[in-house]
Amino acid sequence: AQTVTQSQPEMSVQEAETVTLSCTYDTSESDYYLFWYKQPPSRQMILVIRQEAYKQQNATENRFSVNFQKAAKSFSLKISDSQLGDAAMYFCAYRSLYYGNNRLAFGKGNQVVVIP
């Protein structure tokens, strides 16, 4: 089974600054998908960004970007120009490429606090 590790339970960032959340994973598969989900206090899980392992280019979505290092099995999320609305729990997740495997393996989460 794949494991996903997020090692910094809580991180603080000043508004307008940049914060980077780290995620590492363990897998023997060569193709898979990686996700970052955001869960604000309202508790709805919102997809932030998705990365396909077979793509070398790092995914970006507006102020959110990832640094995907396949050999190192690392998938960090960078939040630029942090806003108060970015305060949330962020979960890194892994999903196998193989058809029929619908499971998401989640990390334990990073709590992001944005300081005005």
Partner 1 sequence: DTEVTQTPKHLVMGMTNKKSLKCEQHMGHRAMYWYKQKAKKPPELMFVYSYEKLSINESVPSRFSPECPNSSLLNLHLHALQPEDSALYLCASSQDPGTSGDHGTQYFGPGTRLTVL
Interface residues with partner 1 (CB under 8 A)? 33, 35, 37, 42-47, 50, 52, 89, 91, 95, 99-104, 106-109, 111
3-class secondary structure, 77: strand
Residue given tokens 């897998």 in the structure block: 27
Residues whose CB is less than 8 angstroms from the CB of residue 100 and which lie 6 or more positions away in sequence, other chains included: none
Q: How far is the CB of 42 from partner 1 (least distance, A)?
A: 7
Q: How far is the CB of 10 from partner 1 (least distance, A)?
A: 10
Q: Which of residues 28 and 43 has its CB atom nearest to partner 1 in the complex? A: 43
Yes or no: say if 33 and 52 are a contact pair by the CB < 8 Å rule. yes
